[in-house]
A and B are shown apart, each in its own frame.
Chain A
Amino acid sequence: MQQQDRIRNFAIIAHIDHGKSTLADRILELTGAVSEREMREQLLDTMELERERGITIKAQAVRVMWRGHQLNLIDTPGHVDFTYEVARSLQACEGALLVVDAAQGIEAQTLANAYLAIEGGLEIVPAANKIDLPQADPEGASKELGDLLGEEPERVLRISAKTGVGVPDVLDAIVERIPAPAGDPNAPARALVFDSSYDQYRGVVAFVRVVDGSFSTREPVRAMAQGTEFDAEEIGVMSPARTPIASLSAGEVGYVITGLKDVSRLRVGDTLTSRRRPAAEPLPGYQDVKPMVFAGIFPTDSDDYPELRDALERLKLNDGSLSYDPETSQALGFGFRCGFLGLLHMEIVRERLEREFDLDLLITAPNVAYRATTRTGEEVEVHNPAEMPRELEQVEEPYVKASVIVPKDFVGAVMELANERRGTFDHMEYLSEGRVLLLYELPLGEIVLDFYDQLKSRTRGYASFDYDLAGFRPGELSRVDILVGGEQVDALSLIIHRDAAYDRGRQLVERLREEIPRQMIDVPIQAAIGSRVIARETVKARRKDVLAKCYGGDISRKRKLLEKQKKGKKRMKQVGSVEVPQEAFLAVLNLDSERKR
């Protein structure tokens, strides 16, 4: 057991691509936790997808030794969708390394993460990274960091995680500046679950920070918020491979193999205690994170429905924040309405389904969660536009506080975009001479469309963006339905601000008219709010469709042609008596991505 005053628990926080994972790798190398031969780029990011996208999805914790001290590096996810996970990871630490790319300066996630760390009372060790780059400006970055944290710029470490320059100083600063964990080793045991993963042989593995007392192998454990009980099958530390040890005590970080078969029974943020001598109070701050962004996921081939269900079940084992409920769409068949923390989370789930499970998917346009009050006073939470009641008293939609950092030349462009998206200006400040922080309140529904892509393109990629949920507010929202041949296409219903409904309806019907092949009858395509049609197009009926000649030598060929045509029809989705090719739905669902190109 380590003396408590020789333990340091810290996280690395940074904007995406500012070098967090590279720094983690270098630390592992330098402390001898892994040999160079074992070194793999971005070792902590275990999933293929994470390495490819250069982002960290699941936090991990690694124990290394440095000059007689035990350092526990807790890796945090780097994206806005996982703010809660980040916050919980930070809660397991006493300090944080705040890394900024010296060529870029502070970005939106730098700020968001720094504020989380400051709120959590963490000691922050700032570092300007990538000083080896020719365009690096360590002076400027140090000044920005100093201003942000109210520290002398000289206290900002100047490093290159890539070449290793300055990394020993980082480790020394961790030992010197970050306090040792407090916590009472003799009190009833309490540990914070800051992450979990699923091992297909051993079940749920919880990553914990022990706050008080200690946990031993075979400890009878209870998760205090959810009430889940299990015996600790194995306790250990990551160094960086799983290494079993006899016990974990106050201040230490490690893992607990729970034997639980369902990740949802042990949520991040819960407090573990021992059933032998239970703690009276859990650690503060547990929240049940609720998905805010929803989309329908359907298999392209309806025969793949069972595979999709199994894949979601398995993903959920590893990702407690993913939710899914069966959904039947008359246009798209059987699928699931899935809930995500945000857009990136949705993207990650989609890619994992397609890549790891080899599924061909059709995904509806994402929407947010709405709170609707009907005329009869009934309140419902709506996750699917097609389920929005028509007789509404009021609809509330989620809002976010968004922060955007841009070079000052792009302030106008950002303001224009925020205004188009119903943003309310809150506040603006100069971070340095050339860079501006803008704060807006925006409906989340406007962000899930294509806000981020628009922001990037209108600021030539310079803008960085982050947001935080800011509660529900009433909005002038309409439900727009799309009708093909007089039948409502459930998958295409959308909820949109009244002022944008007409344009959007127009776009959708025009696009559908282009995509739906001519049929044997005229096919009207309409966008409607309630019974009021706001846009209409018609796909004119074909006037002829014949196989001109058919004599003795043609019969086999014509038969095969017709049979092929019939098979082609099987791939069509039936909306009333209209056949709509799957591609038409795809094209419409991709309207946003088309628009931004």
Chain B
Amino acid sequence: MGRREEHGSYVAALLAELELARACLTRELETVFVGGGTPTFTEPRELARLLGALPAADEVTVEANPETVTPELVELLVAGGVTRVSLGVQSFQPRLLDVLERRATPESARRAVLAIRDSGFDNLSLDLIYGIPGQTTSDLRCDLEAALALEPEHLSCYELEAKPGTRFTHAHGAELARQADVLEGYFELVVETLTDAGYRWYETANFCRAEERDLRAQHNLGYWLGHDYLGIGVGAVSTIAGERRRNLPSLARYLAALAAGEPPPHEVEPIDDETHRRELLLLGLRLDEPVALGAVGDALDLAALARLETLGLVERTANGRGEELRLTRRGRFLGGGVTAELLSA
């Protein structure tokens, strides 16, 4: 948020919303995730107030942009009970960071990692973006190597989404189209490089060091396993007891409502059992661990399943827990299309 004086009122509103929702939370939470936008831009005193007011949890993650990470900020996070930091590095190449209009530099990313490590964090995640206009295969290799050199416990690698009609697409669409053939191999390169380096490809875009400790992002795992979650803030989404609630994106109306002690303006989407099963399927197939067929029931198109099995894109296994389903390695590269097909019409 640009205007520092508003930080106080926004944090106050967040806490007010949390208070209104308190009834649906257990006293001890499994995970908390502070993200969306860049929480570490927040005025330090306000950020500290927010962290201090959050309920205790086993995993508390905060998203941070490298250029905002100072030793002082890291101290603040430690003091606020944060257990995990997710650092939005995106790339280590100044040229590509420029294209993405990021203020961070490769140096600021390395400094941020050092600062985070110095204060004893043992769960660090780096975000990378690939498929940036002008990014060559060797650029991508360099980014992956640079990221691996920092030995993060966790990596999220996203393909750049150039949404139609945006200023970005207008500026770079032609270049992306020109690169289309090369870009197609980048996802494979990412997965190969990271798995060769000993990382587990546990979700479509997420990797964690394979070690005894479960280093998967527990908070996000909750989404993929179809658990309920509470989201607070402008535009935040919650799914609780068969109802998905989405706060509307207007900051002014959000602040006004909570200042008046009202719940923020929002829309509600009912998630009935059938929809829930469809979501269990489409989310579950993102993971390397299988989905229980019993849990998804009629959300699954059995004819499509048979066809995709023959194509070697899906595998069905049976064990003590009953039949289970997962995408094969090749199936995971084609996860969108395969999942669409597996969903019953």
CB neighbours (8 Å) of B161 from chain A are: 548-549
Query: Do B334 and A544 touch (CB < 8 A)?
Result: yes
A521 at the interface (CB under 8 A from B): yes
A570 at the interface (CB under 8 A from B): yes
Query: Do B311 and A566 touch (CB < 8 A)?
Result: no
What are 13 A-B pairs with beta-carbon distances under 8 A?
A542-B184, A543-B187, A546-B333, A546-B336, A549-B158, A549-B205, A550-B223, A552-B239, A553-B246, A559-B275, A562-B336, A562-B340, A577-B310
14 new A-B contacts, CB < 8 A, other than A552-B237, A559-B278, A567-B345, are A520-B311, A543-B185, A545-B333, A545-B334, A545-B335, A545-B338, A546-B333, A552-B238, A553-B237, A559-B275, A562-B339, A569-B340, A569-B341, A577-B310
Query: Do A562 and B334 touch (CB < 8 A)?
Result: no
A376 at the interface (CB under 8 A from B): no
Query: Do B340 and A543 touch (CB < 8 A)?
Result: no
Least Cβ distance of A524 to chain B in Å?
15
CB neighbours (8 Å) of B185 from chain A are: 543
B188 at the interface (CB under 8 A from A): yes
CB neighbours (8 Å) of B237 from chain A are: 552-553, 555-556
B125 at the interface (CB under 8 A from A): no
B244 at the interface (CB under 8 A from A): yes
- A493-532 contacts to B (CB < 8 Å): 520-521
A558 at the interface (CB under 8 A from B): yes
Residues of A in contact, count (CB < 8 Å)? 26
> B333 touches which one: A543, A548, A551, A553 (CB < 8 A)?
A543
A547 at the interface (CB under 8 A from B): yes
Known contacts A520-B313, A546-B336, A548-B161; A566/B341 CB under 8 A: yes
Least Cβ distance of B221 to chain A in Å?
11
Q: A residues touching B (Cβ–Cβ < 8 Å)?
A: 520-521, 542-553, 555-556, 558-559, 562-563, 565-567, 569-570, 577
B119 at the interface (CB under 8 A from A): no
CB neighbours (8 Å) of A566 from chain B are: 301, 340-341, 343, 345
Known contacts A546-B159, A566-B341; A552/B223 CB under 8 A: yes
CA distance A521 to B333 in the complex (A): 12
CB neighbours (8 Å) of A577 from chain B are: 307, 310-311
CB neighbours (8 Å) of A543 from chain B are: 184-185, 187-188, 333
Q: For chain A, what secondary structure do more than half of its interface residues adopt (helix, strand, loop), or is it mixed?
A: loop
CA distance A559 to B308 in the complex (A): 20
> A553 touches which one: B224, B231, B269, B310 (CB < 8 A)?
B231
Least Cβ distance of A316 to chain B in Å?
36
Query: Do A555 and B334 touch (CB < 8 A)?
Result: no
Residues of B in contact, count (CB < 8 Å)? 47
Least Cβ distance of B100 to chain A in Å?
15
Contacting chain A: which of B87-95, B142-150, B279-287? Answer: B279-287
B236 at the interface (CB under 8 A from A): yes
Q: Residues 299-340 of chain B: 1 if any A CB is under 8 Å from the residue's CB, otherwise 0?
A: 001000001101101000000000000000000111111111
CA distance A148 to B184 in the complex (A): 71
CA distance A551 to B225 in the complex (A): 11
Query: Do B204 and A550 touch (CB < 8 A)?
Result: yes
CA distance A577 to B306 in the complex (A): 11
CB neighbours (8 Å) of A521 from chain B are: 311
Least Cβ distance of B63 to chain A in Å?
11
Q: Which residue of B lies closest to A520 (CB)?
A: B334
Query: Do A559 and B279 touch (CB < 8 A)?
Result: yes
Q: Which of A559, A565, A570 has the most CB of B within 10 A?
A: A559
Query: Do A563 and B336 touch (CB < 8 A)?
Result: no
Query: Do A558 and B334 touch (CB < 8 A)?
Result: no
Query: Do B343 and A544 touch (CB < 8 A)?
Result: no
Query: Do B244 and A556 touch (CB < 8 A)?
Result: yes
Least Cβ distance of A366 to chain B in Å?
34
Least Cβ distance of B58 to chain A in Å?
18
Q: Which of A551, A556, A559 has the most CB of B within 10 A?
A: A551
**Nearest 9 pairs between A and B by C-beta?**
A565-B340, A545-B337, A553-B237, A562-B340, A544-B187, A545-B336, A545-B334, A548-B159, A546-B335
- B150-183 contacts to A (CB < 8 Å): 158-159, 161
B235 at the interface (CB under 8 A from A): yes
